[in-house]
Amino acid sequence: MRTFYVTTPIYYVNAEPHLGTAYSTIAADVLARYHRLKGEDVFFLTGVDEHGENIQTLAAEKGISEQELCDQMAPMFTKLWKKLNLSNDIFLRTTSELHKRGATKFLNALYKTGDIYKGKYDGYYCRRCESFYTERELAESKNCPVHKLPVEWVEEENYFFALSKYQDGLRAHIRANPEFIQPESRRNEVLNVVESGLKDVSISRASVSWGIPLPFDQTHMTYVWIEALCNYITALGYGEDGEKFHKYWPANVHMMGKDITRFHAIIWPAMLMAVNLPLPRQIFAHGFVTNQGEKISKTKGNVIDMDTLIGEFGLDAFRYFFLREFSFGNDGDYSQDRFVLRYNADLANDLGNLLNRTLGLVSKNFGVIPEPTTPGEFDDEVKGIARETIDQVDALMGQLAFDMALEKIWEFVRRINRYVQQTQVWSLAKSEETKGRMGTILYNCMESLRTIAVLISPFVPDTANRIRQQMGLDECFENQGLDTVSEWGGLPSGKTVGKPEPIFPRKDTKRKPRHAASSQTEQIATENLISIDQFQSMDLRVAEVIAAERIPNADRLLKLQVDLGSEKRQVVAGIAAHYSPEDLVGKQIVLVANLKPTKIRGIESQGMLLAASGKKELAVATFEKRLPPGTQVR
């Protein structure tokens, strides 16, 4: 069986976990779950980094021992990870005996290579990072590039690792393996650093007392970063449980924030090269979640209250938002407005409505999953898109492009909503003749929903299960691999469907005070901006008006019949005060074609036309030349 080993950084216990640390860990969880879905034997590691000067200082400030501090802090992480429904296989603490034993063995192995020597170190040191910086790496005014705080000049007798010896080997490896460091921007950065020359690094701290002593000189503590990096192998029982280590090492991907790329992409691989261990297959550095442009961090005090967000919108919406909204390799700025917009547009409208509508029609007209007896228009296209979506999602997940994978899935969701619309499935219940077709369309919708539920399950596991339950399918998703949707038609007909219930109840967007109107035109909103994806979720089409009539007892309304090329629609529009029916016939207008049908004065309206309206005037949007009906408007 193929194995897949994914890791997060191990987080310092000098602060509680926050949205930033949760972001890394959720992403790793999604990847782990996706690979399990593919039938692979996955090992997902996360944990905490408990040694070093920062912990020592904090424990002294609190008047407790370092171990007591770690024992108080570690459960905050495990509790949060449980709440976030993370599926890690191990939670490694660096104060555990497993880690201490493994790290000691690794240091001994490194010592034996002859690449460790004693020397004097002098350099700029940031105590918060517990890291030396070269003059070139310091931010302007000689501050630490991460904390933007002054660094100290430190001179110490230390043990060194001969990193410089591995410069050529590293360069060759990075060059020969384009996937080794991703995204590309980070790969280039690391290559630049390597090519401009590597200095040996100190691996011990004489002034620190909280850590793992160097096995070959107990008077020195191992530099916290050196033993922390070892966690990726100590968690597998390096040096003892040969089976687990050989099964999962090398890691498929080490995931981390971009702040700690150089430790993972330079120092760690060089140490592994020194002891002749295979290198991890990929180091992927993701961007930061920012709040008003500032990296979210406990020290900055700009954390976002996860409990409130999860309490209000649910855990799955929370997991969904951060992976859908931000491109994984880039920074992303958090905004509450965007959260609500995405929740309503993607989850409540697109996905929630598709499920509700489909199950509502199945319950009302069949009660059980219908038989697909009567193939018809669009069916093959829908089946083709299902297959394509599975393949494209797989390729995108391979690139850790979570946002794009979700977008692909949602394109499929929106296509099925349009299929419902195009086939007007709700209108086929009228006669026994058309009921077979109705059942087939609904079967296809349900089969699409089953595929969608499997594909979204790594991102929103509870939602996937709820969809499945509502569809009347009993087995939970943990047992539903990707292979169960690889062939169209795996959905069993004849099963009783569950009760449709909204999976993401719509939330009211807070109404903002309207801007004062300037003359005839209202000010154009610069707040609540929408993304191109949201705009593209609207299916705008050229529609030709083929008939129009007034509606008795409704002075403002006209009933239009429009041609959309592949189908005809009926639309009710509030334009009677500005147009008489005969003005409209033959005109080509813009129709919002994927709007949920509604009844206006008891008459069904299957779309909405676009018009500009001021205080007095109203003009229907038309085209400057004739186009085939159904042409997409972008």
Give the nearest distance from C-beta 226 to ligand ME8 in angstroms: 10
For ligand ME8, give the closer residue by CB, 332 or 372. 332
Among 106, 160, 284, 288, binds ligand ME8 (CB under 6 A): 288
Give the nearest distance from C-beta 35 to ligand ME8 in angstroms: 20
Residue count (the chain): 634
Give the nearest distance from C-beta 297 to ligand ME8 in angstroms: 5
3-state secondary structure of 373: coil
Position 256 contacts ligand ME8 (CB under 6 A): yes
For ligand ME8, give the closer residue by CB, 6 or 296. 296
Among 170, 233, 260, 266, binds ligand ME8 (CB under 6 A): 260
Q: Please say whether the dihedral angle defined by the alpha carbons of residues 97, 100, 106 and 108, taken in this order, is positive or negative.
A: negative
Give the nearest distance from C-beta 288 to ligand ME8 in angstroms: 4
- Binding residues with ligand ME8: total (CB under 6 A): 21
Two tokens, residue 190: 């690391």
Among 131, 182, 282, 297, binds ligand ME8 (CB under 6 A): 297
3-state secondary structure of 618: strand
- Main-chain dihedrals φ then ψ at residue 51, nearest 5 degrees: -100, 180
For ligand ME8, give the closer residue by CB, 124 or 268. 268
Give the nearest distance from C-beta 499 to ligand ME8 in angstroms: 40
For ligand ME8, give the closer residue by CB, 263 or 443. 263
CA-to-CA separations, 560 to 350, 425, 565, 578, 622, in angstroms, rounded = 26, 21, 15, 14, 15
What residue ranges in 94-216 does DSSP mark as E strands? 116-126, 131-133, 152-161, 181-182, 201-202, 204-205, 213-214
Give the nearest distance from C-beta 301 to ligand ME8 in angstroms: 13
- Residue 604's contacts (CB-CB under 8 Å, 6 or more residues apart) are 570, 572, 597, 598
257-265, 365-373, 452-460, 564-572 -> range binding ligand ME8 (CB under 6 A):
257-265
Two tokens, residue 20: 């930033």
Give the nearest distance from C-beta 304 to ligand ME8 in angstroms: 10
Own/partner pairs, 437-440, CB within 8 angstroms, 24+ separation: 437/374, 437/376, 438/361, 438/365, 438/370, 439/365, 439/366, 439/370, 439/371, 439/372, 439/373, 439/374, 440/370, 440/371, 440/372, 440/373, 440/374, 440/375, 440/376, 440/379
For ligand ME8, give the closer residue by CB, 267 or 584. 267
Cis check: omega of the bond before 183, within 30 degrees of 0:
yes
Give the nearest distance from C-beta 233 to ligand ME8 in angstroms: 11
CA-to-CA separations, 70 to 25, 36, 391, in angstroms, rounded = 20, 32, 44
DSSP state of 622: B
Q: Walk across the sheet containing 3-12 and list its strands.
A: 90-93, 41-49, 3-12, 253-257, 283-286, 181-182
Instruction: Name the residue among 414, 422, 397, 466 with its Cα closest to residue 607.
Output: 422
For ligand ME8, give the closer residue by CB, 224 or 385. 224
For ligand ME8, give the closer residue by CB, 257 or 461. 257
Give the nearest distance from C-beta 423 to ligand ME8 in angstroms: 44
3-state secondary structure of 54: helix
For ligand ME8, give the closer residue by CB, 247 or 298. 298
8 Å CB contact between 570 and 533: no
- Nearest residue by C-beta to ligand ME8? 20
- Residue 280's contacts (CB-CB under 8 Å, 6 or more residues apart) are 232, 250, 251, 252, 253, 254, 268, 269, 272
Among 228, 425, 428, 455, binds ligand ME8 (CB under 6 A): 228
Position 295 contacts ligand ME8 (CB under 6 A): yes
82-90, 251-259, 442-450, 576-584 -> range binding ligand ME8 (CB under 6 A):
251-259
> In the Cβ-directed half-sphere of 396, how many Cα atoms lie within 13 Å?
21
Give the nearest distance from C-beta 43 to ligand ME8 in angstroms: 16
Give the nearest distance from C-beta 65 to ligand ME8 in angstroms: 20
Interface of this chain with ligand ME8, residues 38 to 77, rule: CB under 6 A? 49
For ligand ME8, give the closer residue by CB, 11 or 249. 11
Position 435 contacts ligand ME8 (CB under 6 A): no
Interface of this chain with ligand ME8, residues 2 to 31, rule: CB under 6 A? 9-12, 20-21, 23-24
Position 289 contacts ligand ME8 (CB under 6 A): yes
Position 448 contacts ligand ME8 (CB under 6 A): no
DSSP, residue by residue, 340-354 = HHHIIIIIIIIIIHH
Cα R_g (the chain), whole angstroms: 30
Give the nearest distance from C-beta 281 to ligand ME8 in angstroms: 17
Among 37, 214, 229, 575, binds ligand ME8 (CB under 6 A): 229
Residues that bind ligand ME8 (CB under 6 A): 9-12, 20-21, 23-24, 49, 228-229, 231, 256-257, 259-260, 288-289, 295-297
